[in-house]
Structure 1
């Protein structure tokens, strides 16, 4: 994308706050709390994944097309966590342009908070008017497992395979590596990160994110 186009996008998205991070970090919960407290519009990227998949083509989303063609064992049991990480379409940034398209359609007179694991630091950084408008929440493995367990979703995907134990192990390891990658990428780009462990309360995390945004 040409520099002038990036600058134009940055100007049009200067009313947007971004919360990225690893799965299970509490992004949705914290975004809802901050949106309600400060009167922001909430845009949850998880809620539009099906819509974005339908708007994608094999040409612009080859990893998504490959993933859709797999059965559950091929996705979660028969591949290594490393391969799962490297080939997962949303981790590759596929569909991020559709997130931007959606945000550009929203009224600019209201501030927006957008959240989801699809907000990769390298893709968000060029769109930031100021770095303080983005933060990444990075859960420890223990926090992630505890969070999924408390929601009752720990085995949601794994139980649909022929080997739930292996599938869950693969998923948790893939997500651990993804979180580490987010940390390295955000730090390299000098973007804000908040590490979330089992001692972190929801109130503490909401306050830290609010402070990071300068709200």
Structure 2
């Protein structure tokens, strides 16, 4: 691994960091908050810094983000196929991950940091994470839909388009394919996962993640 032009042992920089990635609607934020509260960890939610990272990005280092920002809602969610949405969504392609790393390096090492979010792509996290300090939550489509419905956010984006039904279908299909991609990548890289379905309780999921991370 190289940071700042020098070879660096990841454990020296990120040995205090725990990573929870995964598909949308998998319960990452809920589980991370519970673990952070229970164990006195500093929580870094990548969703919360998306606007900040967008503002810190340039067209040169985040061309997909620039293209996305130039679209209206129908162009983003109605007129493109889920496949195109998957392949061109900036966060899914790792744009801005360097800013996550930059933020983490700026934080004190005490208390340890628990970072969570769908932006934690396996191939980007693996070179940084200490063995046993990372896990990906992979929700079934039924669990994802149930999670979105329970939050009341199912129509949050789709409802602002000219064709909410189509937009919602596109979003759910895009997220399903993203979760499938995470499954393939974690298996290929030998990284730990926790599968989440509608029979999984919040307490059970919290314990599974805690055990996987060794917290």
Above 0.5 in TM-score? yes
Give the whole-Å Cα distance in 1 for the aligned partners of 2:78 and 2:169.
Answer: 9
Deviations 1:142-166 (A, max 9, x none): 0000000000000000011000000
Q: Tell me if 1:173 matches 2:178.
A: no
Say which SS state the counterpart of residue 46 (structure 1) adopts: helix
What corresponds to 1:147 in structure 2?
147
What corresponds to 1:103 in structure 2?
104
| More displaced 10-residue stretch of structure 1: 19-28 or 105-114 | 105-114
What corresponds to 1:80 in structure 2?
81
Q: Would the alpha carbon gap of residues 6 and 29 (structure 1) be closer, same or farther in structure 2, given more than 3 Å must change?
A: farther
Deviations 1:90-117 (A, max 9, x none): 0000000000000011101220000000
Give the whole-Å Cα distance in 1 for the aligned partners of 2:137 and 2:6.
Answer: 29
Q: Is the 8 A contact 1:11 1:129 kept in 2?
A: no
- Structure (1/2) with the larger helix percentage: 1
Q: Is the 8 A contact 1:24 1:147 kept in 2?
A: yes
Q: Tell me if 1:60 matches 2:61.
A: yes
**Runs in 1 of length 4+ with deviation above 6 angstroms?**
none
What corresponds to 2:122 in structure 1?
121
What corresponds to 1:16 in structure 2?
17
What corresponds to 2:35 in structure 1?
34
What corresponds to 1:196 in structure 2?
196
Give the whole-Å Cα distance in 2 for the aligned partners of 1:193 and 1:121.
Answer: 11
Give the CA deviation at 1:5: 4.1
Q: Is the 8 A contact 1:10 1:126 kept in 2?
A: no
Q: Would the alpha carbon gap of residues 159 and 193 (structure 1) be closer, same or farther in structure 2, given more than 3 Å must change?
A: same
Q: Is the 8 A contact 1:30 1:202 kept in 2?
A: yes
TM-score (norm 1): 0.97
Deviations 1:54-92 (A, max 9, x none): 000000000000000000000000000000000000000
Q: Is the 8 A contact 1:122 1:185 kept in 2?
A: yes
Q: Would the alpha carbon gap of residues 74 and 134 (structure 1) be closer, same or farther in structure 2, given more than 3 Å must change?
A: same
Give the whole-Å Cα distance in 1 for the aligned partners of 2:89 and 2:97.
Answer: 13
Say which SS state the counterpart of residue 126 (structure 1) adopts: coil
Give the whole-Å Cα distance in 2 for the aligned partners of 1:52 and 1:6.
Answer: 26
Aligned residue pairs total 214
TM-score (norm 2): 0.97
Q: Is the 8 A contact 1:52 1:95 kept in 2?
A: yes
Give the whole-Å Cα distance in 1 for the aligned partners of 2:176 and 2:106.
Answer: 34
Say which SS state the counterpart of residue 47 (structure 1) adopts: helix
Give the CA deviation at 1:214: 1.1
